[in-house]
Amino acid sequence: MNSYILKNARVIDPGRNIDTKGDIGVDQDGRFAEPAALAGAQVIDLEGKVVAPGFIDVHVHLRHPGNTLAETIATGTAAAAAGGFTSIVAMPNTKPAADTVGSIELFHRLVSQDAVVRVLPCGCMTVGLAGEEMAPIGSLKSAGVVALSDDGKCIQDHALMRRIVEYAKAFELPIMDHCEEYKLAEGGVMHEGKWSVLLGMNGIPAAAEEIIIARNIIFARQIDWKIHMQHVSTAGSVKLLRAARAEGVKVTGEATPHHLTLTDECIKKFDTNYKMNPPLRSEEDRLALIEGVADDTITVIATDHAPHTRTAKEVEFDYAPCGIIGLETAFSVCYTELVKKGVISLPRLIGKMTTGPADVLGIKAYDMAPGKAADFVVLDPEAAYVIDKNTFKSKSRNTPFDGREVCGKVMMTAVGGKIVHQA
């Protein structure tokens, strides 16, 4: 690799509280370096652009192994690179599930062959994601998992969940939990509220999420360990998190671009690309999420990238699988909704996609200091465009944002100094 200098850019580095115009150097070993030390380096003029640390997504479904018709490690990581993500955490609900050392080793081999960004495996909390027996947490840690989750499912046995949090603390693995009380959510296909009544569809009440978030807060307080709430979606959940964090409890929450921008009213189109779990909530819930992002109750923006084939989604709404893809649209959608509308600044948005996720994973000092691996993204904040799903790197096309006008575009992504995406 040849050394190069990113010149005349706006450098935003939340980890070092930097927001200034300047130059960034990358040496031949793929590490950040002082530009003055790189004699004869190639110069890349980025006037009018922003350079920031590469984004981290703590919530990605790669479907590989198990459902390579929907996504593969190759296509999923290409999509991540196109979205500015240099590290992603792969959820464990693959086939086989990531609940043994063997499955983690298989995953590592597949990643080493096909991935263009860093892929961090997440291990199961329970064997087979069945919610009945604790997975071998110590062995999973030794195999290289960075967190534990049964994402897509939620442990209903509170005594089992307590033991898992205790073991997770012993092995210093954060818990990332899909919060859903099954009996309350049973049979629901959308948010329980005005629109479920008008459309005559079974609803999922906000309480189904909030009860589990309250449980997790109790355990995080009691055991003094980190529990991260995945895809927070209700006003009540935000309120619970806000109070717990003010108390110093080790809980964090993430919001998805779709929950920040869409509501249950979208379901009136009966388009299955608006079906996800947790479901799109009311406008009141959406505004509460935005308030949570603004006051740092919500510290992480994650995509919950969930690819499905066209065949799987083109069925009646009740029978369609939940989930949408989001890696390639996350920054643009959030920049348009949050920064352009004055909710938060661009540096704070970048922080929720870099230092916020890094903190959940226990990654210290995630920044662009000299000597660190050169994982970075180049952004054009003023680039306006229309999202076109047919240009996606992802193997799937299940997005509700197709045709949406947005502002802010990922122009370049590099991992270890190697450019893996260029617009």
- By annotation, the residues acting in catalysis are 304
Which residue pairs, CB below 8 angstroms and at least 24 apart, start in 340-346? 340/407, 340/408, 343/290, 343/293, 343/294, 344/293, 344/294, 346/12, 346/50, 346/381
Look up residue 172 and give its DSSP letter: T
Tokens read off for 389: 């799903």
- The phi and psi torsions of 287 (rounded to 5 degrees) equal -65, -35
Rounded Cα gap, residues 253 and 237, in angstroms:
9
Cβ contact 351:345 at 8 Å: no
The residue among 170, 51, 120, 165 whose CA lies nearest residue 357 is 120
Three-state SS at 265: helix
373 φ/ψ sector (left φ>0, alpha ψ -120 to 50, else beta): beta
Chain centroid, CA 385 distance in Å: 23
From the CB of residue 384, how many other CB atoms can be counted at a distance below 10 Å? Answer: 12
Rounded Cα gap, residues 423 and 408, in angstroms:
12
From the CB of residue 378, how many other CB atoms can be counted at a distance below 10 Å? Answer: 24
Buried b (16+ CB within 10 A) or exposed e, 301-329: bbbbbbbbbeebbeeebeebbebbbbbbb
From the CB of residue 246, how many other CB atoms can be counted at a distance below 10 Å? Answer: 9
Cβ contact 376:418 at 8 Å: no
